[in-house]
Amino acid sequence: MSVGASRKSCTKKLNIKNETMPNQPLFSRIEIDPGRHLHCLYEGRNEAPFVLFDAGAFGIYADGWWVKEALKKKFGVCLYDRAGMGASDPVPEGITPSPDFHVEDIRKLVRALGVTTKIILIGHSMSGLRLHTFVNLYREEIRGVIFVDALSPRQLTNTHGKFLGQQFAWILKAGVLGAKLGLAETVSKIAPNNFALDGAIRADKVWSYASESHHAASRDEVLAVDYEADYLHGDGITKLPLAIFTSTLVNGMNESDADIAQKNTGYGWFGAFPKENHVSILLGEHADLIADRVVEIAAL
């Protein structure tokens, strides 16, 4: 699949003052609406299928770093910060940062990058809700989907899922207070580098642990999820090539989803990795396995 020469680079460093980040934005801030920008990194081959990694509820572009590294020799890969996160602009005033809002932002970003072909989506953790939303609303724009220890909308409708959502929201509310009081900054300095990052990339991730605005944006996203929204509960994902990686209780996808996708599309893959945690499943050999699934979906 060719994307053509019109795709714009996301790798140019900009001299934009941003008081909330430890560094100036490391990559480009792409305008998706008049005066509104998302921070993104595009790296890889322009002529290859386009892959976008969407981080979880508290994540930034850095969460997908090793997945990007595993993919960039064969594919064009985009990592980005959602509105309100990292070096991206805040969510517009009066707008609810619900899954469908962020899906529209992804579509605007893809268009702004000059991508005109179907894309492959990789989603981690709470991004599972956005991937379901995207596929249910715009399945014709997607080539395939990969869920990495991802939340499922049906998980939100049962007691276990609602408890997880409520507990996570309270944790994020506490995080906002802790950041406001300066406690989160202390924690961030001693927090383990679970993502195995270095240099400025690691500094951005550590910053997110301590940032009041980042905690607040994460909290608002979780609180904005409408468990009953129609766009969450369609069956679109099983009508596309589908791969599922699971490791923890956060995951809400199961092998039957992959089986249905296999019957419908000729491709469905499921892998359980109970010895891995919610972060390690994105690193090392698991990043390579995720890349292998992208290769298989792109070949269909």
Structure-model confidence comparison of residues 74 and 22, the more confident one: 74
Of 95-104, 152-161, 208-217, 229-238, where does mean pLDDT reach its minimum? 152-161
Indicate the pLDDT class of residue 239, thresholds 50, 70 and 90.
very high
Third-level CATH fold of 28-298: Rossmann fold (3.40.50)
Location of structure tokens 């249905």: 260
Amino acid 226: pLDDT: 87
* DSSP state string for 69-115: HHHTTTSEEEEEPPTTSTTSPPPPTT----HHHHHHHHHHHHHHTT-
- DSSP 8-state code for residue 171: H
Whether residue 139 contacts residue 239, with contact meaning beta carbons closer than 8 Å, is answered with yes
Domain boundaries, the chain: 28-298
Local confidence band at 218 (pLDDT 50, 70, 90 cut-offs): confident
Residue whose token pair is 């997110």: 208
> 228 falls in which pLDDT band (50, 70, 90)?
confident
| Statement: residue 88 has pLDDT above 70 | yes
| Polymer length of the chain | 300
| Distance, CA of 150 to CA of 148 (rounded, Å) | 5
> What is the pTM for the complete model shown?
0.86
Looking at residues 80-102, what average pLDDT do you find?
95
DSSP letters, 1-65, are ----TTPPPS--------TTSSSS-SSEEEEEETTEEEEEEEEE-TTSPEEEEE--TT--GGGGH
Give residue-wise pLDDT tens across range 164-185: 555 555 554 444 444 444 444 4
The first and second tokens of residue 84, run together, are 């309100």
Residue 168: predicted pLDDT: 52
pLDDT of residue 154: 86
Q: What is the mean pLDDT of residues 115-143?
A: 96
The whole-number average pLDDT for the span 12-19 is: 34
What is the spatial distance between Cα 92 and Cα 71, in angstroms, rounded to a whole number? Answer: 33
